[in-house]
Amino acid sequence: MMRPQPPAPLVLSSHAFEGPSRHFPRRAVLARLDRAALDTRFAGHETMTPRTAARLRHVLLAGIRRLHTASFSPGFEELLQPGQPLRVMRLLASLCVEVQHLNEERVEGWQVVKSGPGKPDSILFACETDEVGHCAVPAACEILIGAVTTPVDQWSARGAMALPHASHFRIVASIHALNLGMKMISDAAGRAGVTTIRSADGRPQVQFGEGRHQHHNNNIITDSTPEIGLRIAGSKLLTSLMLERLGLPVPENALASSAEETVAAARRIGFPVVVKPENGAQGRGVTVGVSGDEEARAAFEAARRYGRDVLVERFVAGQDHRMLVVGGRLVAVAQRVAAHVVGDGASSIAQLINERNKEPYRRPKGFHMRVQISVDSEVHRVLAAEGLTMQSVPAQGRTVRLRRTANLSTGGDALDVLDQVHPENRAMAELIARLTRLDIVGIDFLTPDISVPFQAIPCAINEINTQPGLDPHGMPDDLSERVSDAILAMVIPNGPPPAMPIALVYGEEDATAAARCLHDALLARGRQPARATQEGLVVGDVTVERTPLHGDRAAARMLRHHPRADCGILTINARALHDQGVGLDHWDALILTGPATKARLGDAAALADAVNCPIFAHPAFVGAGSPLPRDRLILLDDGSPDAAGHTRNGGRLLAFRNGSNRDVADAVADLFDA
């Protein structure tokens, strides 16, 4: 269970808008701050100094390991120019966006707003998830106060990110971040124009497409992954038996349920051996190169923490390769290299590790990229076997291994070697995928030389993975795109599915009536509309939910998740728009109903600015001073002079007889069909 957020006295309130609203054109957080307390904290620090600017850059670049390709927003860089006034509220709003960039969230936009007379006391900024947005505010306050006011001898980037709110932000952000594999596939979907919907609660569940065209991925498992393949790969022993029947190279192995059975199996197989959980993953509980009875007993205890049964297998020397097969085709091979340092003849191993951890693509564990090298008992054991300690100074050019396993999750590296794979090794990998029926599978293959056929060299298939982390294939960018595009093509074999057209209807009772009429028109054309209104959720001719829906994210998700729907209708009223925003980030038609009061004109303008689409409205919405774009308006002809004038000015006119919505419904249905 995640620990609660620490008290944040500088933040008086924080409110999330689920999408476009009167305040902002996309999802955002509005935070009201204690301006008097902030002025007190920053008293005597009215100017941006070079030291403050350097500290803020240092925190963002080093405090949380940012990708080496990332850059700051231009607006943030402008605020960091030394000599200008210290614009506290602007800096805080911009920092709230920048700290989300650390988590690789694609968010842009912020502003400072007044809640009443006097100085501005609220900030409004874009966010990807509400929870991360809420936590960004106190974290930004803490980071800025520390960067401006902390004495020289007391400030450090590590210390700044270890403060309560900054630390809490990191925890929440890591929970809600997509892991690298899912992010790669989501990016591929974005490049292909496929709608992506993330899980609302931070789970690694992503929906590609909407309604009847949806597909799902959960941590690389797709909605086509067969259960039998998961069961086969879930047992290392069963996998070994099946591969052995085909004459494929697998190491001799045996199950053990106690420390003494482990020792006996290791003696029978012959030291050195590998001891690991029979159904483990990500290198957890694996001990490589066990060479004696006591080591075997200790290795059993380490493996037993991750599974009931323990597998003892012959140690096979060779380079560690992850072979990724997608849709039956080998698309990437990464040679994984265990965590290591290279001596320079002057630095200790501890110092060399510290320098490697500063590499721009390394992050603390939990941020789903190649992680920093941590020092634990395994590192000390591997060093001791070479007669080294953390204080040893290796000679210039000497490579010192720090771990026996080559997992990226323990600080390892990866090299792309697909071009070096021998055709028979390629055929072997694709055969394994066919045997297990897995659509995406990672095969761990140990061989001294991947360019030599497996029959001609001592080698072994170590294991197969149903949820192969894509981290080994995440860099460089062209490799990442090759892998993610292959996975997306397999998940969506017929190409990008058509977007689900959605009509947003603004108003009160008239909105519900208009939505009902549009629903009937779409049904008459053979469509399967999903309608979320005050009457609940109706899909096709079936009432799914009778609870009133208010245009929020929950209502929008009902529309977009329903597997029968091929188009959607969502209503929202003035209060919901003001309090929470629309739960959608796009719609294809905007229908404005109800009286065109001054407040409603403001709402209509905000909705019109958020999404570029046709707008169906009464003539009253385009009177003198109306902020609506006339080139997108389709007016309802009620015989008024406003309607006739709009036609003379080149606007489009839609017949509107006796207050009926039928013509509007037919026009929107035509738009959806087009």
Residues 596-610 pLDDT 10s: 888 888 999 999 999
The values of phi and psi at residue 399, to 5°, are -90, 125
The predicted structure's pLDDT at residue 70: 54
For range 175-186, the mean pLDDT = 83
Which of 94-98, 394-398, 574-578, 593-597 bottoms out in mean pLDDT, i.e. has the lowest?
593-597
Beta bridge partners of 653: 635
Q: Check: CB of residue 195 under 8 Å from CB of residue 493.
A: no
Q: For residue 390, is pLDDT > 90?
A: yes
Task: Kindly report, residue by residue over 267-316, the tens digit of the pLDDT.
Answer: 999 999 999 888 866 667 888 889 999 999 999 999 988 878 889 999 98
Instruction: For the chain, give the mean pLDDT.
Output: 86
Which of 2-11, 240-249, 555-564, 626-635 bottoms out in mean pLDDT, i.e. has the lowest?
2-11
Q: Can you spell out the DSSP letters for 34-95?
A: -HHHHHHHTTT--B--HHHHHHHHHIIIIITT--TT----HHHHHHT-TTSB--HHHHHHHH
Q: For residue 68, is pLDDT > 60?
A: no
Q: For residue 655, is pLDDT > 60?
A: no
**68: buried, middle or exposed (CB in 10 Å: 19+, 13-18, 0-12)?**
exposed
Residue 263's nearest CA partner among 298, 231, 228, 236 is: 298
The predicted structure's pLDDT at residue 369: 53
253-256, strands of its sheet edge to edge: 253-256, 310-314, 273-277, 287-290
Structure tokens at 102: 């650390």
Q: At what angle do helices 130-149 and 88-102 cross, to 10 degrees?
A: 120
Q: For residue 503, is pLDDT > 90?
A: yes
Please tell me the number of Cα atoms within 13 Å of 215 on its side-chain side. Answer: 26
Structure tokens at 566: 């091929």
Distance (Å, rounded) from C-alpha 63 to C-alpha 40? 26
For residue 351, CA distances in Å to 223, 355, 378 come to: 47, 6, 18
What percent of the chain is predicted at pLDDT more than 70? 91
Residue 408's nearest CA partner among 328, 340, 462, 506 is: 340
Domains of the chain: residue spans and CATH: 11-176 (no CATH), 180-224 (no CATH), 339-403 (no CATH), 502-673 (3.40.1190.10)
Q: In which band, very low, low, confident or very high, does the pLDDT at 67 lie, cut at 50, 70 and 90?
A: very low
The predicted structure's pLDDT at residue 332: 94
**83: buried, middle or exposed (CB in 10 Å: 19+, 13-18, 0-12)?**
exposed
Q: Check: CB of residue 284 under 8 Å from CB of residue 303.
A: no
For range 105-132, the mean pLDDT = 88
Mean pLDDT is highest, among 62-76, 196-210, 323-337, for 323-337
